[in-house]
Structure 1
Amino acid sequence: MGNPWVYVATTAVLAWCAGSAQSLTFGLYARLPDSPTLTLEATLPLGAFDLEARLQRDALGLGLGSSLEFSALGRLSYGARASLGFAGWGVEGRIGGTFGPVAASLETGYSSALRSQLWVGDEAEGGLKVGLGGRYRLSPRETLGLGLGFKRNLAGLASGLGELSYALRQEQTYTFGLGVDDSRLYGILGWRGELDEAGTLLEATLRVGQLWRLEAALTAPLDEELDNLKLRLTAAYPWAATLGLEAYGFRADASYDGGFSLWLRYTLSFGGNE
């Protein structure tokens, strides 16, 4: 039998979603050969905070986030989320900000089960995860970046990650760097720029060496209502890939990581709550 608290919490959150949400995202996730899973995401302004809920067949998550503006000095944002499911539970927190030439963020979380069992869009890893990122603007055209990460999986095995990068912005932005992920060394090459006068933007980052991974995102304006077409591609070795498409409130993500999955979503936004 499943955890009865999941049923109770799911019923309560569904009742809240029906009458108070600022936005609702309905989804259908399918991973072969398993049966499809319905997903629901909702957001609600709660004073100075944003409350969010994530529901699926066998788990739910509740989160709270907010931000502080310091005029021209910078901005600070923070949030926390807890997840509960038949497979286990998870907690995570994040804080980040920009102050003058410095930007930094810290994310940490722990789950007693694979995160993909607590939310279909998360990675198939469990245990402890910590990530620290930072950027320092050397000049209006030059930025240094640093990323550090640590993981300890459910079996107790630990691994670390570190990246150092340099970005040069001219008409386009070029990024160069080095990284290490669990003793695997790789180089970082990145490019960001507009492809045409309409404002079509392409951003791509390639990590190549003892580890390789390509991440690319294309954003193209669709009409004068500021709707955009967004395409995302991620490919890595050992063989894994994700292809995403988003436009007019619809979003589709197809993935392969040893098995195939498809996630379809549609978001309703309620202007009266904006």
Structure 2
Amino acid sequence: MKGFHPYRRLLQLALAAVGLQLSTLGLGQSLTFGLFGRLSPDHLTPTLEATLPLGELELRARLQRDALGLGLNGALELSALGRLSYGAGFSLGFAGWGLQAGASAVLGPVAASLEALYSTTPRSSLWVGDEAEGGLKLGLGGRYRLEPRQTLGLQLGFKNSLAGIASGSGELSYALRQEQTYTFGLGVDDSRLYGLLGWRGELDEAGTLLEATLRAGQLNRLEAALTTPLDEEQLNNLKLRLTVAYPWAATLGVEAYGFRADASYDGGFSLWLRYILEFGGNE
């Protein structure tokens, strides 16, 4: 909207000021500059992401042309028992606002995660990398290790859209780890039934890792990720990510040497280019 142009200009100036301050002081654990472009509707959105250690916590900040977000992450080591991670965030933009919170824990053979999100607008309006849905979203996941090579998994979800339409999902899986890991499962998403088949393993002696998951039935989706070392010390990796779904939607991602590019199609084409600066922890 034309009336928002002065405020957008202020946000752009704030983005540049925050980036300059963090890079000058060397305080940011990481700083990511990005540019997101979409053909329909036609627009360009500069983005900035930063993390800053605050004692035992980590402050996360993100800023785009018409929205900003702040969050805190933390973790609690439970000695030999396991680990608890948690986080919360708030986003505010011209289109609306959103809240999110989550926690995950690993305790012996049990791993569990909980996520809750609420927004008054599609979350992609508050951050270009988020899904184009709004309203309430809840997710609960768990894994139980039957023995070192066998694991049971359960995922439950609930959504209540901005239009007040409620839907649920559930997925039960079984993973068998040998030299490679094979995963089998069944799921339901908003009354759509599907089967799950997954594979994870190394492709060569250099440590190239491939992970692929296929969901097929009334819901169809393929997700694949390939990671290969770019040097003998494995300090730099090439990461490729591919997601294809029907009805037709697709995402292709490439990451190496701090650069990342994500191209997507979901009825319209978009491209997100980013460069990540790592400053390391404070001394």
Same fold (TM over 0.5): yes
Give the letter aligned to residue 28 of structure 1. Answer: L
Deviations 1:169-222 (A, max 9, x none): 000000000000000000000000000000000000000001110000000011
Q: Answer yes or no: is 1:163 the counterpart of 2:171.
A: yes
- Measure, in 2, the Cα distance between the counterparts of 1:47 and 1:7: 33
Given that residues 6 and 60 in structure 1 are in contact (C-alpha distance below 8 angstroms), is that contact kept between their aligned partners in structure 2? Answer: no
SS in 2 for 1:246: strand
Given that residues 13 and 53 in structure 1 are in contact (C-alpha distance below 8 angstroms), is that contact kept between their aligned partners in structure 2? Answer: no
Given that residues 12 and 65 in structure 2 are in contact (C-alpha distance below 8 angstroms), is that contact kept between their aligned partners in structure 1? Answer: no
Look up the match of 2:28. Answer: 21
Q: Answer yes or no: is 1:259 the counterpart of 2:268.
A: yes
Kindly state the Cα deviation for residue 6 of structure 1 after the two structures are TM-superposed: 8.2
Look up the match of 2:243. Answer: 234
SS in 1 for 2:46: strand
TM-score under structure 2 length normalisation:
0.92
Q: What's the C-alpha RMSD, in Å, of the aligned pairs?
A: 1.9
Q: Describe how 1:90-239 pairs up with structure 2 within 5 A.
A: 90-223=98-231, 224-239=233-248
Deviating beyond 6 angstroms after TM superposition, the runs of 4 or more aligned structure 1 residues are: 3-13
TM-score under structure 1 length normalisation:
0.95
SS in 1 for 2:172: strand
Selected match of 1:248 from 239, 253, 257:
257
Give the letter aligned to residue 118 of structure 2. Answer: Y
Given that residues 238 and 254 in structure 2 are in contact (C-alpha distance below 8 angstroms), is that contact kept between their aligned partners in structure 1? Answer: yes
Count of aligned positions: 274
Matched residues, percent identical? 76
Given that residues 224 and 242 in structure 2 are in contact (C-alpha distance below 8 angstroms), is that contact kept between their aligned partners in structure 1? Answer: yes
Deviations 1:113-138 (A, max 9, x none): 00000000001100000000000000
Given that residues 3 and 85 in structure 1 are in contact (C-alpha distance below 8 angstroms), is that contact kept between their aligned partners in structure 2? Answer: no
Given that residues 180 and 186 in structure 1 are in contact (C-alpha distance below 8 angstroms), is that contact kept between their aligned partners in structure 2? Answer: yes
Q: Describe how 1:23-102 pairs up with structure 2 within 5 A.
A: 23-33=30-40, 34-102=42-110
Kindly state the Cα deviation for residue 271 of structure 1 after the two structures are TM-superposed: 3.2
Deviates more, 1:9-18 or 1:156-165: 9-18
Deviations 1:88-141 (A, max 9, x none): 000000000100000000000100000000000001100000000000000000
